[in-house]
Amino acid sequence: MSENYQVIVIGSGPAGYVAAIRCAQLGMKTACVEKWVDDKGAIKLGGTCLNVGCIPSKALLDSSHKYVEAKHDFDIHGISVGSIEMDVAKMLARKDKIVTQLTGGIGGLFKANGVDSIIGTGKVLANKQVEVTNAAGEQVIYQAENIIIAAGSVPVEIPPAPLIDDVVVDSTGALEFSEVPKRLGVIGAGVIGLELGSVWARLGAEVTVLEALDDFLPAADMAIAKETKKVLKKQGLDIRLGTRVTATEVVGKGKARTVNVEYSDAEGTKKESFDKLIVCVGRRPLSENLLAADCGVNLDERGFVFVNEQCQTDARDIYAVGDIVRGPMLAHKGSEEGVMVAERIAGKKTQINYDNIPGVIYTSPEIAWVGKNEQELKASGQDYNVGIFPFAASGRALAANETTGMVKIIADATTDRVLGCHIIGPSAADLVQQVVIAIEFGASSEDLALTVFSHPTLSEAVHEAALAVAGHAIHIPNRPARKKKK
């Protein structure tokens, strides 16, 4: 038996490292177990998000966006430049530097807050013990008073498209292409597929997205999803819905290798050939070999750790947070769960409003939403009002040459309480946060409409959409008011 801890956290992603830091801040002796190490054997904190997910993908999205701006959009500003080229190796090096800086920063935060790092793979045993196995297969058992499971998730693999070297890859491999593929296939039109497809399309790849579902972005509001598909198609993404991949075959040798993809759609069986193929059909919880049979923690039918609304498992003093539990696989959702659990262990009554978690897709323009969408409200029979304001009518958006998209706010027809906000446009990820706060405090669309927004800003589009809910928008003609149900 090794050292005892008040709290042991398994996993150092956004859910785990935040939970560990907050536990330590609350005066608890805390350790965080992480199996990832670098090529020198040093611990790599940050989980999928910082190492091979949110952060590196956003670095590439930003670099590729600036490339497109320089190549196609500077001229409208009166800026003339010479030949524009992308140095892929330098772009990847910048991405790696950002990852190193942030993951190293977590190590600094652990040190500052007194969190111990333990290298190895964690497993929950009976009696609140954690078994940690290092790379050499050596095992050490730690005793905890409380355990927080934050083991995260991994990409889903599908039998028709097994991963093969750097030709058929998952989202991690798609961050490491050494050159721009001429033809790129993407299986899955979800958040990851659209973001990674956008990166390489901007750099010159011919991108084909194969999506098995008949609906595009079904989690988003239909009006936003429709606009998004139109915009991405204009940017060069060939999005094919209702296409199910049935087989793949890698042919050729060396750099001449390509992958033949067979898929079926409404017209029958078809084939395409790509230089690279990205498989991004979702993620699954990383729960294999995580729990001893007698530890008291249970999994649901999909492999998620079963928890209640406070992230408590079926075992006393054992919690689970982040991608390993129910709900959207979002870093910010996991982080807030980590804080909630830490504070509940400390005796506080912290809660999370799971109905008010924003979603974001970092394409260009960005897509963001929070709360209910129109199709959900129609299905429930709830009466509502809608206000829409296009960025084409925003002075700030016009000045920045970023006029694509809109802000859509939905409010209850009787109480006027804001029910949802859906945005496609510049800085959508940041703008939606204003409505997240409004929903959290139970604000009405009138509350937003009566709030003073600085001018000229993109956020004025949120203000005008709120005004439009009641037909009071100033800078666009107002739509006829919806008739309320009797």
DSSP secondary structure, 456-468, as one string? S-TTHHHHHHHHH
Task: Check 65, 455, 463, 475 and give the catalytic one.
Answer: 455
* Contact call for residues 148 and 234 (beta carbons, < 8 A): no
| pLDDT in the model for residue 1 | 53
d(CA 271, CA 401) in angstroms, rounded, equals 39
- Residues 293 and 270 occupy one common structural domain: no
DSSP secondary structure, 251-267, as one string? ESSGGG-EEEEEEEETT
| Encoded tokens for 29 | 């002796």
Q: Cis omega before residue 456 (within 30°)?
A: yes
- Residues 341 and 390 occupy one common structural domain: no
| Encoded tokens for 239 | 């999005």
| Encoded tokens for 397 | 């958006």
The answer to whether 455 is a known catalytic residue is yes
- Given 345, 373, 398, which residue is the final one in a domain? 345
- Residues 393 and 320 occupy one common structural domain: no
| pLDDT in the model for residue 124 | 98
Does the residue 480 lie in any domain?
Answer: no
Report CA-CA distances (Å) from 37 to 118, 122, 324, 373: 11, 14, 21, 42
Q: How many CA atoms lie within 13 A of 306 on its CB side?
A: 10
Check which CATH number belongs to the domain holding 223 and give it.
3.50.50.60
Instruction: State how many domains the chain has.
Output: 3
Instruction: Tell me which amino acid residue 289 is.
Output: N
DSSP secondary structure, 326-365, as one string? SS---HHHHHHHHHHHHHHHTT------TT---EEE-SSS
Does the residue 212 lie in any domain?
Answer: yes
- Residues 106 and 240 occupy one common structural domain: no
Check which CATH number belongs to the domain holding 440 and give it.
3.30.390.30
Cβ neighbours, 10 Å, residue 256: 8
Does the residue 485 lie in any domain?
Answer: no
Query: H/E element holding 169?
Result: strand 168-169
Distance from the Cα of residue 243 to its chain's centroid: 24
**Residue 393 three-state SS:** helix
pLDDT averages per 10-residue partition of the chain, 486 residues: 90 98 98 94 96 97 97 94 95 98 97 98 98 95 98 97 97 97 98 98 98 96 97 97 98 94 97 98 97 98 97 98 98 98 98 97 98 97 97 98 98 98 98 98 98 98 98 93 50
- Residues 98 and 186 occupy one common structural domain: no
- Residues 208 and 264 occupy one common structural domain: yes
- Residues 328 and 411 occupy one common structural domain: no
Distance from the Cα of residue 409 to its chain's centroid: 22
- Residues 15 and 116 occupy one common structural domain: yes
Does the residue 356 lie in any domain?
Answer: no
| pLDDT in the model for residue 480 | 73
- Residues 204 and 104 occupy one common structural domain: no
| Encoded tokens for 286 | 């990383």
- Residues 186 and 118 occupy one common structural domain: no
d(CA 434, CA 450) in angstroms, rounded, equals 14
DSSP secondary structure, 22-56, as one string? HHHHTT--EEEEE--B-TTS-B--SHHHHHHSHHH
Does the residue 481 lie in any domain?
Answer: no
- Residues 123 and 221 occupy one common structural domain: no
User: Which range of residues forms the domain containing residue 198?
Assistant: 168-281
Phi, psi of 160 (to 5 degrees): -70, -15
- Residues 316 and 397 occupy one common structural domain: no
| pLDDT in the model for residue 181 | 98
Cβ neighbours, 10 Å, residue 180: 18
Whose structure tokens read 């965080």? 32
- Given 312, 345, 378, which residue is the final one in a domain? 345
| pLDDT in the model for residue 482 | 58
Does the residue 351 lie in any domain?
Answer: no
Q: Which of 273, 236, 237, 280 is nearest to 256 (CA)?
A: 273
Query: H/E element holding 200?
Result: helix 191-202
Report CA-CA distances (Å) from 350 to 41, 309, 338, 341, 353: 37, 11, 11, 8, 10
Can you give the pTM of this predicted structure? 0.96
Distant-in-sequence, close-in-space partners of 311: CB < 8 Å, separation ≥ 6: 319, 320, 321, 325, 337, 340, 341
Does the residue 303 lie in any domain?
Answer: yes
Q: Are strands 276-279 and 168-169 parallel, antiparallel or unpaired?
A: parallel
Torsion of CA 9, 13, 19, 25, to 10 degrees: 100
Does the residue 163 lie in any domain?
Answer: no
Q: Which phi-psi region, left, alpha or beta, contains residue 83 (left: φ > 0; alpha: ψ -120 to 50)?
A: beta
d(CA 394, CA 62) in angstroms, rounded, equals 23
* Contact call for residues 223 and 422 (beta carbons, < 8 A): yes
d(CA 265, CA 272) in angstroms, rounded, equals 13
* Contact call for residues 322 and 337 (beta carbons, < 8 A): yes
Q: Cis omega before residue 480 (within 30°)?
A: no
| pLDDT in the model for residue 486 | 40
